[in-house]
Structure 1
């Protein structure tokens, strides 16, 4: 996938049209994963794609991960989001507040024709059976890390040092 800043309106429109034609992958939903390195433009691209998909919901995996479970969040995602959607029910997940370091109140995620799941790990093996399509954002590591640090500011400097 190109840098989200380089996508033309025509390109993303064509991609959205192709995604709409895919068969459902998780109950009645077409889950579209957007994965890539931290700072690679996943959230920006997912937002653009969601708008093109008639304002499709976007689930940010930063809401599922936590300081204690940077990567060990798969079971929570499967239980809170994937299982209910697979049954055609509204999912309820508890988003993590990275500044307060705690999970918040549950948020409803009703089934929709397309739901975009974006974040590091969106394409992990345990999730692939539920994805209609997986998109990968590719930018050089140094550029993505610089973008991520700039986005998150001084407050998250220590986290980025550990992440890199």
Structure 2
């Protein structure tokens, strides 16, 4: 039997039972389902070792429970920080131009959007953007150029020379 078939059989044979157990432990079917799915994803990543354990179902159940406990702890830390420091400062309403820009950015490919935001809004250099996204400098320059052209098209602006890429990448 292949690795995939073995895991599929394990998953199909145990997922309902583990989910029901987590619902009983957590008291919330949605949270239980999310935690169980994440636990099975982790089991798949480690299937070579998990499949040889005495109780792979128990491993998944423990991992699912720990995932949920970890998220509860994170929520508690956020709550404590909120109480200690108070609510965040009011964020001013976005201008109509900002709203339009965000809507336009959503319509271009993620890699181009990320390059444009990091370069133009965060003020990083091309080299810094390249380091952050893990791409060569030339790739970042191409994404910036293509992203600006795509934004111009989405925003209905003419693709003049500045939009096409006559920018300093120093």
Same fold? TM cut 0.5:
no
Higher relative contact order (CA 8 A, sep 6+): 1
Q: Which of 1 and 2 has greater Rg?
A: 2
TM-score (norm 2): 0.22
TM-score (norm 1): 0.22
> Higher strand fraction: Structure 1 or Structure 2?
1
> Higher helix fraction: Structure 1 or Structure 2?
2
